[in-house]
């Protein structure tokens, strides 16, 4: 695609949400440009689950199949590049990329994702997505019946406890803060034989990403096979902030039920704007974003 060609929609991010949005738009004959840096957050995850028809496939297999199907529509173009900035232009939006190119569009869809903030714990990042996971729905079945721990603050650990206990009888909560559960919560944890350890993790011992031991701040170590660890995150791209999008208290891009951000003409989908992190959710929100952008374009054209 030539520089300065004005397309209907630029989609920043070509993973599941972005490709899903592109599919809805391509089937409506919209001229679409996908700009993707080819750096998905789940690139280390060995298999993807809880997505019907693709359960157990690798993330790469799913995205490559999706890309092949999406690019079947000749109004959709895809470039591997990194969008560095975006701003309002006379025609809508102008996007500049790392390779020095500039593209313009009437509407903009942000499918830019988020970046997990890894704790400074030796061995942690090597296990991320393999034996240290964030979600019982995405990974819980595969690590069921294993000796498992939850590493989180007190409210989050207590939230995850019943979900994870349903998948394993051997569960411990590792809580780095000193906030104690209330008496009722303590009684409930005792009833289900869930051990609580108020301590920091200093290292993870593993074999090729598969957890073996957790080493604590006092030097002791305990054997575990799986660890749930909901991580803090940041937006993968600073462009939503540059455009003036509002964010939720948790740090997600604020969107309405139609995936519209607070900036006119800008939509967001996928992990950057949802608390529910899953492939299925990303595809769903991308589909909505694509449909709503097409509807907006149609209404703008279909007027007196």
Structural domains in the chain, CATH included, are 6-116+232-301 (3.50.50.60), 124-228 (3.50.50.60)
Query: How confident is the model over 59-88, as pLDDT tens digits?
Result: 899 999 999 999 999 999 999 999 999 999
Alpha carbon distance 84, 103 (integer Å): 12
pLDDT score at 39: 80
Q: 233-235 and 114-116 as β-strands: parallel, antiparallel, unpaired?
A: antiparallel
pLDDT score at 111: 98
Helix (H) or strand (E) holding 290: helix 279-301
Tell me the three state secondary structure of residue 33: strand
Q: Are 256 and 239 contacting, i.e. CB atoms less than 8 angstroms apart?
A: no
Tell me the three state secondary structure of residue 239: helix
Tell me the three state secondary structure of residue 2: coil
**What residues contact residue 22 under an 8 Å CB cut-off, 6+ apart?**
11, 14, 32, 34, 70, 76, 286, 290
pLDDT score at 304: 53
Residue ranges for the chain with pLDDT beneath 50: none
Q: Classify residue 172 as exposed, middle or buried by CB count within 10 Å of its CB (0-12, 13-18, 19+).
A: buried
Pair of tokens at residue 294: 């097409």
Query: How confident is the model over 16-53, as pLDDT tens digits?
Result: 999 999 999 999 999 999 999 988 777 778 888 888 88
Alpha-carbon separation of residue 50 from 46, 130, 135, 281 (angstroms): 14, 16, 11, 10
Tell me the three state secondary structure of residue 284: helix
Pair of tokens at residue 33: 């440009």
Pair of tokens at residue 62: 């799913």
Matching residue, tokens 């294993």: 146
pLDDT score at 236: 95
């Amino acid at each position: 695609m030539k520089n300065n060609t004005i397309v209907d929609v630029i989609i920043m991010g070509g993973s599941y949400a972005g490709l899903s949005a592109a599919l809805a738009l391509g089937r409506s004959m919209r001229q679409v440009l996908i700009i993707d840096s080819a750096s998905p957050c789940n690139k280390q995850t060995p298999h993807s689950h809880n997505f019907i028809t693709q359960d157990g496939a690798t993330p790469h297999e799913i995205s490559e199949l999706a890309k092949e199907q999406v690019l079947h529509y000749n109004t959709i173009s895809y470039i591997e590049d990194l969008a560095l900035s975006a701003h309002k232009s006379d025609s809508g939006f102008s996007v500049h990329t790392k390779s020095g190119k500039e593209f313009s569009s009437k509407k903009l869809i942000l499918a830019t994702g988020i970046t997990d903030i890894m704790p400074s714990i030796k061995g942690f990042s090597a296990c991320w997505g393999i034996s240290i996971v964030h979600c019982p729905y995405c990974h819980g079945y595969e690590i069921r019946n294993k000796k498992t721990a939850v590493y989180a603050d007190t409210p989050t650990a207590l939230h995850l406890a019943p979900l994870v206990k349903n998948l394993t009888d051997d569960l411990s909560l590792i809580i780095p803060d000193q906030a104690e559960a209330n008496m009722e919560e303590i009684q409930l944890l005792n009833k289900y034989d869930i051990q609580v350890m108020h301590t920091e993790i200093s290292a993870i011992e593993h074999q090729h990403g598969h957890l073996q031991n957790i080493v604590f701040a006092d030097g002791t170590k305990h054997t575990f096979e799986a660890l749930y660890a909901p991580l803090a995150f940041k937006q993968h791209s600073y462009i939503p902030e540059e455009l003036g999008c509002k964010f939720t208290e948790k740090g997600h891009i604020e969107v309405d039920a139609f995936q519209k951000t607070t900036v006119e003409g800008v939509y967001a989908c996928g992990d950057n704007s949802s608390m529910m992190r899953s492939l299925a959710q990303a595809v769903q929100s991308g589909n909505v974003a694509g449909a709503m952008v097409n509807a907006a374009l149609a209404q703008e054209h279909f007027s007196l």
